[in-house]
Amino acid sequence: MDQQQVLPMLRQPVRRRHLIAMLASAVVLRPLAAFAQQKPMPMVGILDVGDPASLLKSFREGLRDKGYIEGQNIRLEVRSPAGSSKSLAELARELVEIKVDVIVAKFTPAVRAAMEATKTIPIVMAPAGAPVETGLVASLSRPGGNVTGMSATAAELGGKRIELIRQFLPQASRIGVLANSADPFTKPFLGEMQTAAGTLGVQVEPVMVSGPGEFETAFSTLQKASADCVIIQPSLPEKAAIDMALKVRLPPFGLFRSTVEKGALMSYAPRAEDGYRGAAVYVDKILKGAKPADLPVEQPTIFELVINSRTAKALGLTVPPSLLARADDVIE
């Protein structure tokens, strides 16, 4: 066999080896390229003033409606001072340090803590009361800045709540309020009730506290002021406040259904779960590129009256039939 016949035979396996190597490289490089093109899983921080269980339940439902499954295509980082020695401010800074994409904050103190921790990360109110009056947003239609979300319309219903309390307790002339001294929402919250109280012939007796360590003294003050009942501001530890109110047999009222489920007599407010689910809609829009400054603040349109007849019986009170007939739900 001459040299011209041998050379092609030598070249053939070399080309085959090269081809095999090239195919192997393509198999390796294709998943690496695909991996490089994948976007990192978005991370949402949750900042709650108390127990985040109720917020998380409805918020996760809202995320699922938008196609997000926790652990698969979205990650939640939950922070709450409940059971923690850290303040809201510290917890908000933690969320900023781990570089969450959005912060969902429940109630005004949590929103304020998030705002102080970051001017760039989008913040979604879930919800917050009187957001314009407390300086959280510039306006409802054009929030500006990095904050938008759900308004609780909690202050605006102050007059309606006092009217309902008078129907529940016709003899009530002094309505105590356990108010949060650290919450910017407290001012409009009390202001609406005090304005309404004057026209309804009752007196509002606010007692300012910063936490449960002051509850015993606060309830002693309300008793000395001859308060006929007490309204508990929701940014305070509700269960501890309700337990103290029942212990001294001072009828407790709340703003949201959660307060009634914990033992308060009655609440009238937007459905909290609507606000939590609505926050997920905002998160979806922001993750898809929308700017908080351009997303109008949403106000609730559905309100519910919830009554706890079990607590009424424990206090020896009779719920007026007219209120029972109007109630959206009665806890037996």
Residue 19 CA: distances (Å) to CA of 6, 8, 25, 28, 32 = 21, 16, 10, 14, 20
Q: What are phi and psi of 178, to 5 degrees?
A: -90, 105
37 lies in some domain: no
Question: Residues of the chain whose pLDDT is less than 70?
Answer: 1-39, 154-155
Nearest Cα to 108, choosing from 155, 62, 75, 51? Answer: 155
Residue 328 CA: distances (Å) to CA of 156, 223, 272 = 20, 31, 14
**Are 140 and 192 members of one domain?**
no
**Are 323 and 227 members of one domain?**
yes
128 lies in some domain: yes
| Region label for 329, one of left (φ > 0), alpha (ψ between -120 and 50) or beta (otherwise) | beta
**Are 237 and 95 members of one domain?**
no
User: Is residue 240 within 8 Å of residue 276, measured between CB atoms?
Assistant: no
Residue 261, token pair as written in the block:
């489920």
**Are 190 and 314 members of one domain?**
yes
Helices (H), 154-271: 158-168, 186-200, 215-224, 238-247, 257-261
9 lies in some domain: no
Residue 219 CA: distances (Å) to CA of 166, 197, 233, 244, 312 = 21, 21, 14, 8, 19
Q: Is 141 exposed, middle or buried (0-12, 13-18, 19+ CB in 10 A)?
A: exposed
CATH code assigned at 97: 3.40.50.2300
DSSP state of 74: B
**Are 249 and 290 members of one domain?**
no
Q: Which residue has the tokens 């012939």?
A: 201
User: Is residue 116 within 8 Å of residue 91, measured between CB atoms?
Assistant: no
1 lies in some domain: no
Contacts of 252 (CB under 8 A, 6+ apart): 229, 230, 231, 232, 241, 242, 245, 246, 259, 263, 264, 265, 311
Q: What are phi and psi of 292, to 5 degrees?
A: -55, -35
92 lies in some domain: yes
Helices and strands (H and E) in the chain: how many:
12, 12
13 lies in some domain: no
**Are 165 and 124 members of one domain?**
no
**Are 117 and 78 members of one domain?**
yes
Residue 239, token pair as written in the block:
């269960």
Using one digit for the tens of pLDDT, what is the confidence trace for 91-110?
Answer: 999 999 999 999 999 999 99
Query: Please, what's the largest Cα pairwise distance for the chain?
Result: 121
Buried b (16+ CB within 10 A) or exposed e, 66-101: eebeeeeebbbebbbbeeeeeebeebbbbbeeeebb
pLDDT score for 84: 78
**Are 327 and 316 members of one domain?**
yes
Residue 5 host element (H or E)? helix 3-37
11 lies in some domain: no
pLDDT score for 200: 87
**Are 213 and 115 members of one domain?**
no
Structural domain span for residue 110? 43-153+272-294
**Are 65 and 205 members of one domain?**
no
pLDDT score for 154: 66
20 lies in some domain: no
**Are 194 and 317 members of one domain?**
yes
pLDDT score for 43: 98
Residue 147, token pair as written in the block:
């904050």
Contacts of 135 (CB under 8 A, 6+ apart): 184
**Are 195 and 221 members of one domain?**
yes
Number of domains composing the chain = 2
Nearest Cα to 78, choosing from 53, 100, 105, 45? Answer: 45
